[in-house]
């Protein structure tokens, strides 16, 4: 599958329109660095300063995505928000543009910021599977003075049967390689 990288995008507060269109079922990975100062501190103390994973406090209903982590990176595709973070993956259920933002009900007082890179792997791209080529086994040549069997005049099952198998594998490999050379894609 051909994964494409997009970014970096700076996310501090309000929505960041990425211009990246994804299809339902694509795999989207967010990788983020940095810290957002969520403001709202009284006399410089008490403001959360967090990475894109946010915090584990209960998210108020007034936030854009109350079911996702508070003060974290969130990603919107269509009408649904998905959890982003320092290294998170999601699969959108509908097609649309990726929108990034903080899960915060007052993004205007935020400072600093996250640097976000997105990695998108399209759904339906067939994986590249290399052809299986059987090993080429050279034919066994008996030493001078011996017949084609395991030893002179031999008809035992161990040597003679093994040589027959080796010869059959060699012919199958030669046939497969010849057929591959004649194929046109």
Residue 122, pLDDT above cutoff 90 = yes
Measured CA to CA, the distance from residue 120 to residue 32 in angstroms comes to: 15
SS3 assignment, position 16: strand
pLDDT at 169: 57
Query: pLDDT above 90 covers what percent of the chain?
Result: 54
Averaged pLDDT, 30-50 = 84
Q: If one looks up domain 4-121 in CATH, what number appears?
A: 2.60.120.430
Dihedral over alpha carbons 103, 109, 112, 118 (to 10 degrees): 30
pLDDT 10s digits, 52-86: 999 989 999 999 999 999 999 999 999 999 999 99
Domain ranges in the chain are: 4-121, 130-185
What average pLDDT does the segment 88-105 reach? 96
> In b/e form, how buried is each residue of 52-66, taking b as 16+ CB within 10 angstroms?
bbbeeeebeeebbbe
Q: Give 127-184 pLDDT, tens digit per residue.
A: 444 455 555 555 555 555 555 444 455 555 445 545 555 556 556 656 655 555 554 4
């Amino acid at each position: 599958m051909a994964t494409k990288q997009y970014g970096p995008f700076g996310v501090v507060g309000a929505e960041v329109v990425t211009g990246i269109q994804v299809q339902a079922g694509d795999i989207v990975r967010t990788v983020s660095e940095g810290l957002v100062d969520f403001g709202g501190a009284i006399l410089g103390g008490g403001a959360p300063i967090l990475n894109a994973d946010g915090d584990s406090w209960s998210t108020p209903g007034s936030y854009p995505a109350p079911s996702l982590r508070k003060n974290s990176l969130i990603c919107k595709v269509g009408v649904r928000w998905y959890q982003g973070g320092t290294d998170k993956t999601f699969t959108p259920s509908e097609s649309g543009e990726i929108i990034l933002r903080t899960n915060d009900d007052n993004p205007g007082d935020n400072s600093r910021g996250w640097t976000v890179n997105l990695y998108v792997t399209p759904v339906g791209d067939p994986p590249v599977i290399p052809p299986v080529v059987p090993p080429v086994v050279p034919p066994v040549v008996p030493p001078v003075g011996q017949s084609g069997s395991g030893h002179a005049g031999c008809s035992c099952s161990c040597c003679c049967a093994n040589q027959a198998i080796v010869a059959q594998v060699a012919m199958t490999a030669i046939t497969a390689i010849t057929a591959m050379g004649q194929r046109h894609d």
